[in-house]
Structure 1
Amino acid sequence: MKTDLLTTTIPESKFSAVKNALKYLFNHNEIEDIQLLTGGLSSALVYRMTVEGKDYLLRIVMHADEMHDPPRQHICMGLAASANIAPHVYYSNDEDALAITDFVQNKSLREGFASGKDLITALGNTIKAMHELPLFPKLVNFLDGVDIFIEQFKALHIFPEHVTAEYFSLYAEIQKAYPRHDTDMVSSHNDLNPNNILFDGKKIWVIDWEAAFQNDRYVDLAIVAKTFVHNQEDEAIFLQTYFGEQLDEYKRARFFLMQQICRMYYAMIMLKLAAAQKPANHVHDTDMVQPGMAEFGAMLMSGKILLDTYEGKLQYGKILLNTMLAAMKTERFKAAIDMMRVF
């Protein structure tokens, strides 16, 4: 009996809850192996756990609050699992703030599809299926939430005000024009970064429902596009897959503006995390001249820079802001803002 694996791996405050879950599922507490998984930015503890020769994923929320809310997460995850979008859920307990699901042995997403077009189409169909689920619980208006993140960033005084003035000045056009109170809500994951999109060799699975709630449909589309949609041809395939015959210029414009909102969203998160991780007596580098997103991605892939470091978060935040700023200086941006004002 390897309960010692649990005692040396699971926090003491959650030990009894994990034992109860194992007892409920397997009628015993014996496990063959348990490994803490790292790599994401979530505050939850995530483990690969082997029981009776099969791997499971154990997820434990350590500090519950409005954002890290086990009941909401478990509802969203359960609805997605019932539609074969999320891995099968074997056990969830709101009070203990833990869940046990199937473990997906992840394979290369890009290598799993014959072409980039096939991958983009598969991702578009996955988002479409998710958005057809029964509505997730409410949490917050997304644009209002981004506005709060902006105010929190400004309060940290990471950069002198003049360094970011142009970014926020142009973003204010979106704040005024985007239909933030549109009642057309869908069940949204809200954090479809590559760490949360797994591929088992046959099918795409979506994990980590921590940020899930009912939201503007363009949020999931924009977040996936940040990583996988690289040009106008990709965008056309992606949006056509999702909207079909209903795709029009208004939807294209709204998607484009949400891309900038999501870049701001992730930039604020990264810079806030960088500020929390800043070494003592260190002065933030205010130079906004940075590599492009493609070059930064290559640096991450090669290990030249790590996203879990202070430097990685600071640089990524700057690059997201620069990518947003470049997009907001285009004619497409002006046209999109004008279209929102008309509608």
Structure 2
Amino acid sequence: MKTNLLTNAIPEGKLPAVQNALKYLFNQSDIEDIQLLTGGLSSALVYRITIAGKDYLLRIVMRADEVHDPQRQHICMGLAASANIAPHVYYSNDEDALAITDFVQNKPVREGFASGEDLITALGSTIKTIHELPLFPKLVNFLDGVDTFIQQFKSLNMFPGHVTAEHFSLYAEIQKVYPRYDTDLVSSHNDLNPNNILFDGKKIWAIDWEAAFQNDRYVDLAIVAQTFVHNQEEEFIFLQTYFGEELDEYKKARFFLMQQICRMYYAMIMLKLAAAQKPADHLHDPDMNQPNMPEFGAMLMSGKILLDTYEGKLQYGKILLNTMLSAMKSERFKVAIDMMRVF
């Protein structure tokens, strides 16, 4: 019966590799329990497995290509684990595209800190530690990658052109001035959304290193801030934790622009995924009158909308575009653009 647990849960083509990994680690392939973990947008299959009363995490890359490269993922994950940022890695195999790590019993991260200031300070310190790791492998230039996603979205013709014309017109100002080919690169996770930030009651862990590669340091900062940094005071604390005395107006401006780049990045991904999930004979609703980001977050938390549905992805993509547009119509945007032109 224990063997059936494994054979019933693991795709047939991956089963021998999983059995070999378990035999290598535990001298057996029998397990006590297995549970498929859902909720993220990764293409990998992720399981919690129980052996000898202990939980482990089994991650299987199902689509191996340049973007979903098991070797790069395992290198980045291993470096992070060696610095006690990612859970301990017991086993990884590039050819079989799987890894077994410690399983983190996640607790609400906000409840683990006495104040919001303590939380964003801890997050800023975590990002700084990631960026101090030995340099991750290369993949793509981030802004070039975002440009590709934009072109892919435009080719889908989801909405009439006038719906997003202002978004792309203002975003073009960032494309002109942001130093996309800056050689000051760091080891970057590139997807530190709440699903990939775990808290065990004592410390923060970063998981799912699928998108990790050497990148602009402002990407991780901007992505974390999207969820956890809500005002100017918190932004100052967050950035000062990371930069210390080196924080200046240029860094603040560059961070602000990267926030808009990352909103565009996630919006394009969400809308592309929504298009792929669209019900047959269904027309995309072009209405951009949507809840704001905090309201949408509350809807997700309450279960009123699910991000793994067509409607959830479509709405989230629109909200990201709206949030970006509002920021790009602000005086701070004009100041940041002018500062990039000078530097």
Instruction: Establish whether TM, by shorter chain, passes 0.5.
Output: yes
SS at match of 2:192: coil
Give the aligned residue type for 1:74: H
Distance 1:287 1:189 in 2: 33
Distance 2:341 2:162 in 1: 29
Distance 1:300 1:46 in 2: 22
Report the equivalent of 1:3: 3
Shift of 1:226: 0.2
Give the aligned residue type for 1:330: S
Query: Counterparts in 2 of 1:120-135, with a 5 A limit?
Result: 120-135=120-135
Distance 1:54 1:326 in 2: 48
Report the equivalent of 2:330: 330
SS at match of 1:59: strand
Distance 1:305 1:213 in 2: 32
SS at match of 1:238: helix
Report the equivalent of 1:105: 105
Residue-by-residue CA offset, 1:109-138 (whole Å, 9 max, x unaligned): 000100000000000000000000000000
Query: Counterparts in 2 of 1:195-210, with a 5 A limit?
Result: 195-210=195-210
Shift of 1:4: 1.2
SS at match of 1:41: coil
Pairwise CA RMSD of aligned residues? 0.6
Shift of 1:312: 0.7
Residue-by-residue CA offset, 1:163-202 (whole Å, 9 max, x unaligned): 1100000000000000000000000000000000000000
- Find out whether 1:342 has 2:342 as its counterpart: yes
Query: Counterparts in 2 of 1:34-113, with a 5 A limit?
Result: 34-113=34-113
SS at match of 1:55: strand
TM-score by length of 1: 0.99
Shift of 1:20: 0.4
Distance 1:158 1:244 in 2: 44
Distance 1:26 1:328 in 2: 54
SS at match of 2:24: helix
Query: Counterparts in 2 of 1:1-343, with a 5 A limit?
Result: 2-343=2-343
Distance 1:118 1:17 in 2: 43
Residue-by-residue CA offset, 1:206-254 (whole Å, 9 max, x unaligned): 0000000000000000000000000001100000000000000000000
Residue-by-residue CA offset, 1:70-94 (whole Å, 9 max, x unaligned): 0000000000000000000000000
User: What stretches of structure 2 of length at least 5 have no aligned partner?
Assistant: none
Shift of 1:106: 0.1
Give the aligned residue type for 1:20: N
User: What stretches of structure 1 of length at least 5 have no aligned partner?
Assistant: none
Shift of 1:328: 0.3
Shift of 1:3: 1.3
Distance 1:63 1:313 in 2: 21
Give the aligned residue type for 1:114: A
Shift of 1:281: 0.4
SS at match of 1:175: helix
Distance 1:208 1:241 in 2: 24
SS at match of 1:111: helix
Shift of 1:333: 0.3
Give the aligned residue type for 1:297: G
Shift of 1:302: 1.0
